[in-house]
Amino acid sequence: MRVYLIGVGMGNPDTLTVEALEAIEKSAVLLGAPRLLEPWEDKRCLPLVRPAEIAAALEGAGQGPAAVLVSGDTGFYSGAKSLWPLLEDCEVQTIPGVSALSYFCARLNTAWQDVHPVSAHGRAHNAVGEIQSHRRTFLLTGGKTRVQDLCAQLCERGLGQVKLWVGERLSYPEERICAGTAEELSGEIFSDLSVVLAENPAPVERPWNAPGLPDGAFRRGKAPMTKEAVRTLVLSKLRPEADSVVWDVGAGTGSVSVECALACPAGVVYAVEREPEALRLLTANAAALGAVNVRPVPGEAPQALSGLPAPDRVFIGGSGGALEGILRAVLGKNPLARVVLTAVTLETLGEGVDCLNRLAFTDVEIAQVAVTQTRGVGRYHMLEAQNPVWILSGTGGEP
């Protein structure tokens, strides 16, 4: 049986290609979402959305040919991807359509080859994180991710000045396009059938691909700081992902917070610190190094951790003598969180090993690093040893 798999663009027949129109005309039956079938009331139509139901209907549709209509372009977040494997016994001809991305950018008179495309339509998605980590982002919205919610979340994340262009009911007579910052549009109500183009002039970006910002990049003051070599090893043991939620407990100057933020451009880092001067330093360092996803959290752990979202990764650079309480707070939020902690005294080392074992952490690793750098003295270079540091890491066990 011949089946035409047709991308119909936004839904208005005016955006169909000539090839698509000819295929629809040849077809004995049309299948697809009700909205896409509306222009073809003179033909036999089966309003179906789920791929399995469409495939089953085609089996009993006779000799055909039949046309399955999918929104947008068949290669851009389309239902065609799920249909192809189910139609292997049919003679399938795929006919692409105009994507919402291509159409919307054309309406805005802008190119889209440098745009990061995201589908947040009908599913929960870290849409704010995508905008936070890219200069230009295109989003299909609807369902669990509405434009008005996105605007509110951007404002909560400190990204209220990000510029947005919103397109509603594209290609239809009631098409509406509006522009403004997230803050300006936060009071608007948009339909579910909307798309967004976001421009963030200062996305979270690492200046190079590997961790290890030079120590001189940070303002120091009197607050403690995890040095470059140790910080690099901490990141390798922490294994952050692009959208991880990270806790940095005892953040000091924020050197690890910033490194984690740059490693998690679509995530958030909560920098917990009890000293006001250190909080001011870490806030300044995050701003200076483009880590807008660092959230300073004043207070002493573990009490200050109670209101934070569940972490994926946790670094403990200072426990204030409350290591076990901090680890229990971590596991209470996420029993599978990965934790890295550092120790510069034998007492902290012993306590760390004991806590990780008693709290049933898995894949526990213990390493010691001793770094010696050089210091110029006239025309000579003297060796200058830094204090040895123990790095302990492990992952929470099963809940």
373 Cβ neighbours under 8 A, 6+ residues apart: 383, 384, 386
* Residue 186 · residue 152 · CB < 8 Å: yes
Query: Quick one: which H or E segment has residue 298?
Result: strand 294-298
227 phi, psi to nearest 5 deg: -75, 165
**Which domains occur in the chain, in start order?**
2-98 (3.40.1010.10), 101-199 (3.30.950.10), 215-395 (3.40.50.150)
DSSP string for 88-150: TTSEEEEE----HHHHHHHHTT---TT-EEEE-TTS---HHHHHHT-SEEEEE-BTTB-HHHH
pLDDT at 59: 85
| pTM of the complete model | 0.81
Q: What is the pLDDT along the chain (399 residues), one digit of tens a residue?
A: 899 999 999 888 999 999 999 999 999 999 999 999 999 988 899 999 999 999 999 887 777 799 999 999 999 999 999 999 999 988 999 999 999 999 999 999 999 999 999 987 755 578 899 999 999 999 998 877 889 999 999 998 889 999 999 999 999 999 999 999 999 999 899 988 899 999 999 999 888 877 889 988 898 888 888 889 999 999 999 999 999 999 999 999 999 999 999 999 999 999 999 999 999 999 999 999 999 999 999 999 999 999 999 999 999 998 888 999 999 999 999 999 999 999 999 999 999 999 999 999 999 999 999 988 888 898 999 998 888 999 999 999 865
List Cα–Cα distances, 247 to 22, 182, 290, 317, 391, in angstroms: 58, 27, 18, 11, 17
pLDDT at 122: 57
pLDDT at 98: 95
* CA distance linking residue 141 with residue 118, whole number of Å: 9
Q: What is the dihedral of CA 314, 318, 321, 326, to 10 degrees?
A: -10
pLDDT at 60: 76
The DSSP code for 382 is E
- The token pair at 329 is 């707070």
* CA distance linking residue 74 with residue 214, whole number of Å: 47
Q: Which of 203, 257, 197 is nearest to 226 (CA)?
A: 257
Amino acid at 148: Q
pLDDT at 373: 84
- The token pair at 253 is 């100057």
